[in-house]
Amino acid sequence: MTEYHYPTFEHLYPSGVQRYDVRARLIRNYDIFNYNHKGKTKQTWKMLFVDVEGEGIQCNIFGPAIEKFVGRFQEGFIYILLAVQVIFAEGKNKIVPNWKQMIIKEETNVIREEEDDISIPSFHYNLVQLNRLSCHIDCTNRVYDAMGLVLYVSPVENIGVDSVKRDVAIMDTTWTVIKLTLWNDFVHVLDENLNHVDICPIIVACGLHVKSFYGTYLSTGYHTRVYVNPVNEKTTSLSTWYKSEKLANIRRDWFRSSTFSLKSSIDISNTPRIRLSQFSSVRKVQYCRVAAYACRVDSVDNIIYEACNRCLKKVVIFQGLQKCQSCNLTNTVTIPRLLLRLTIFDKSGNLKVTILHDLAQHLLGCLATEIKSVLQQPNGRNRVMEKVFACFGNKAFSWVLHPPIEAFNPEHSYTVGYVLHIDWAEECMWLNKYIASKKRK
């Protein structure tokens, strides 16, 4: 028997007129989608095939032709499609970036091969590295595939009356951590018990939307498929990387024990580490991080300010009365708020920073009202100063800072987002990695 060589997708030309015979594996078989067009219900059925070269192509069946093929397709099998049409890919809802697509017509013949052929790949991922996702925010006509190690799984949350969601934090070899929101049926692919066992599963999610809400995240949608621990060369290479990277383990453990919100944990994880001398030129990131000591605490006289109890803005004294300019109220009821100003330094320089109320209360381990009452006692200033020194003196911290919005001004005091204890062993590991990556370039 002479073997017939079917053309690969590369050799299909979208003429619309010519019919092709192709041989390919069905990778994804979506549900038939009903939609309304000018008052009539229409149907479309979408599939993803992959050829022997590993190229993916979308395939559609429309309208009445659908009936002929119902029940004929099963994911994973190889099909011979005789007399298939090839057209330019539709611009909307592309499931693969291919510029052409196939249409199965009424006259197309579909033959399922009963024997497998391993020369045709059994998976197709259109992977985007997690550090490159932000380039694709809100490309509503496109979906993307992502692969990552699952660092953390959140509990299920009800959204509205009939929706549920679950967030997972995933990381790839770029060390970028991204939130993946799993909706409805997908919440069950993972559960939060995972946070307590010593494994780090790999999730591959295909057909995701890249979204932005105070940061880039991924979300499942109509064309999404989620695979947990699939075995193929891509996932094997990721798990090999994970096993060889001690830091990846540390990152996972940190994530699972983090007391911050998931969003904060992700922000902190993705924050670039810099030296203070570089701070003035940092742009376009939400935060940057420095390892530094506190060297000077500004006078504790201004550690407390009186704020309007409605809007929490600082009040001014106007004709002897406390006035909130924001609410335009005189004789405002006030509450004390903390504001801690420090100067921090590393080997490269120093910087004035401000720690706002909530973080200051958290770090000092006491409430603004307590500080206020200590200050009113004899020797109160010294006692408060001692408290601040006990917290910051002679200790290095990891300072997560908002970078300058406008031109850097050394007299300005920059707001601290988070203050973390430093694990020097981890810090050295990062530093070595950083030096190694510089050498490679």
In the complex, the residues that contact Zn ion under the rule CB under 5 A are 308, 310-311, 324, 326-327
Contact at 8 Å (CB) between 398 and 379?
A: no
Nearer to Zn ion, 120 or 307 (CB): 307
Min. distance of Cβ 366 from Zn ion in angstroms? 25
**By the 8 A CB rule, do 235 and 229 touch?**
yes
By beta-carbon proximity to Zn ion, the closer residue of 137 and 316 is: 316
Instruction: In whole angstroms, give the CA distance from residue 106 to residue 64.
Output: 8
β-partners of residue 110 are 81
CB of 307 vs Zn ion, minimal distance in Å = 8
Q: In angstroms, rounded to a whole number, what is the distance separating the alpha carbons of residues 103 and 83?
A: 10
**Distance in Å, CB of 316 to Zn ion, minimum:** 11
Radius of gyration, alpha carbons of the chain: 29
State in angstroms the smallest separation of the CB of 306 from Zn ion.
11
Q: Give the nearest distance from C-beta 129 to Zn ion in angstroms.
A: 46
State which residue, 127 or 327, has the beta carbon closest to Zn ion: 327
Q: Which two tokens stand for residue 352?
A: 């004035």
Nearer residue to Zn ion within complex by CB, 250 or 335: 335
Whole-number Å distance between alpha carbons of 126 and 206? 8
Minimum CB separation of residue 305 from Zn ion in Å reads 13
Backbone CA torsion sign across 432, 434, 438, 441: positive
Q: How far is the CB of 324 from Zn ion (least distance, A)?
A: 3
State the nearest-atom distance from the C-beta of 336 to Zn ion, in Å: 15
Question: CA dist 162 to 91, 165, 427, Å?
Answer: 31, 10, 45
For residues 135 and 333, which CB has a smaller minimum distance to Zn ion in the complex? Answer: 333
- Residue 212 and residue 138: Cα distance in Å, rounded? 7
Give the orientation angle of helix 368-375 with respect to helix 380-392, to 10 degrees: 140
In the bound state with Zn ion, the residue whose beta carbon lies nearer, of 182 and 368, is 368
Nearer to Zn ion, 308 or 364 (CB): 308
Nearer to Zn ion, 93 or 325 (CB): 325
